[in-house]
Amino acid sequence: MDTRTRLVEQLVVEPGQAVGIADRDPAWTGGPEAAALAEDELEQRAKDALTSGIEELSDAQELLWASDRYAVLVVLQAMDAAGKDSAIEHVMSGVNPQGVQVFSFKKPSSEELDHNFLWRPSKALPERGRIGIFNRSHYEEVVALKVHPEWLEPQRLPPGDRDERFWHEPASQASASGNMNCSTTLDSAIAAIDTRPHAPHER
């Protein structure tokens, strides 16, 4: 098995497969093969792999644009200073910038607060033939607000208890009342975006 295949097996989660975060080592740096290399050798291998990947990505972007049938959505969700901006800068350096759009989701505007929390990522989705990158995403609304429930106050949500049931309320129940809110679970949030009508295939 070559290095690339091993890396893909370690990092890629296939559709329908559990992520298994508990089984993933955050200190993993490429396995024993990488650990055996001198620092300058490892750096050169990384540069070579990046160069090769950028060339492949550039070719794939041409096909994506020419077909005008699919869109690609890249979602980067990580803690501050985790390298999201650097990843965008390095990985996307070889693609045509006219075919890429990057959105950073920061504090919601007053207009965004007048809509459900999926409105702003939904309207930022890339059109067919383009690559969209979300620097943070709707996950922020699901995770960060549970840590900081006081951030819910400006969102003008319907009255009610903000108990455990609130945080696990299914998207279908919330949307049925016309008030889908940030209590939607991660799976429901993803499903809500994936099943919207007339959407390009971002997967």
Q: What pLDDT, on the 0 to 100 scale, is given for residue 73?
A: 93
101 forms beta bridges with: 132
Cα distances (angstroms) measured from residue 76 to each of 69, 132, 135, 170, 201: 23, 11, 5, 24, 18
Could you report the per-residue pLDDT of 32-50, keeping only the tens digit for each? Answer: 777 777 888 888 888 888 8
Residue ranges in the chain whose pLDDT is less than 70: 1-2, 169-203
Report the C-alpha gap between 163 and 61 in whole angstroms: 45
pLDDT score of 9:
79
Contact 59, 189 (CB under 8 A): no
**Residue 132 confidence (pLDDT):** 94
**pLDDT at residue 63 in the model:** 94
The pLDDT of residue 194 is 44
